[in-house]
Structure formats: C-alpha cells, structure tokens
Amino acid sequence: MKKYQLGGFEEVVMLTVGILYNDAYGVSVKKEIEQRLTRKVSVGALQSALKRLEDKGYLKSHEGEATQERAGRPKRYFVITALGKRSLEHTRNTRENLWKAIPEIALNPRFTD
C-alpha cells in the first residue's frame, strides 16, 4: 500500500523518534542514530526527513520553550502519529513477510572457487 511506504532512512528516523519518545528533537535524534547505528547523519538529511515525515502525517511536532543556550530559539519536538504507527507496522510486516519468503537455501549458498 503506497500510502504507508517508508524509505530506509525515514524508517530509521521514525524508529528513533519512538525510542526517544518525549525527547525527540533534531539534535537528539541525530545523536541517537549515530550512536546506535555507528553512522554519520547530516543535519540537512535529517531535517529533510523530519519535514517529509511530518508532511506525510507520520510525525507531528511542537515547539518547546526557548532557551538561552539556543539563543532564544525553541527546540522542535517530534512524536509519532497514529498514521505513523500504522506505517511502521506496515513496514515491519512487509519486511517480515519478505524474510519468510526467502528459501533457506538462498541464504546458505555453497560457494565454489
């Protein structure tokens, strides 16, 4: 079902927002992904993904309070919506069905030199 399709990075971002729950804002999401997946994440790619996911209705955001350390700018916090949850469930089920459909021999090939 096309309306539930997630790209690989979008899935990682959504799952990370879920992990962080009430503390999911740009920098915390970036740090969590980098720590858990030991991969670098560009701020631009992350911000684009967060905006795309919000535009799709999978995430919603709200502003926190402005802080001095951020020069008076508030953090933008993200949470998963009900539609986002259904999208993640669809993605998980699709992946599980694909894994189950792979014949065992396909994952245990015998290589010859």
Q: In CATH, what number does 2-102 get?
A: 1.10.10.10
d(CA 34, CA 104): 33
**Range list of β-strands (E), 33-111:** 59-66, 74-80
Q: Give pLDDT tens digits along the chain (113 positions).
A: 567 789 999 999 999 999 999 999 999 999 999 999 999 999 999 999 999 999 999 999 999 877 777 667 889 999 999 999 999 999 999 999 999 999 988 888 776 54
CA–CA distances in Å: residue 112 to residues 9, 14, 106, 109:
35, 41, 15, 10
- Give me the amino acid identity at 63: E
**Range list of β-strands (E), the chain:** 59-66, 74-80
d(CA 12, CA 88): 10
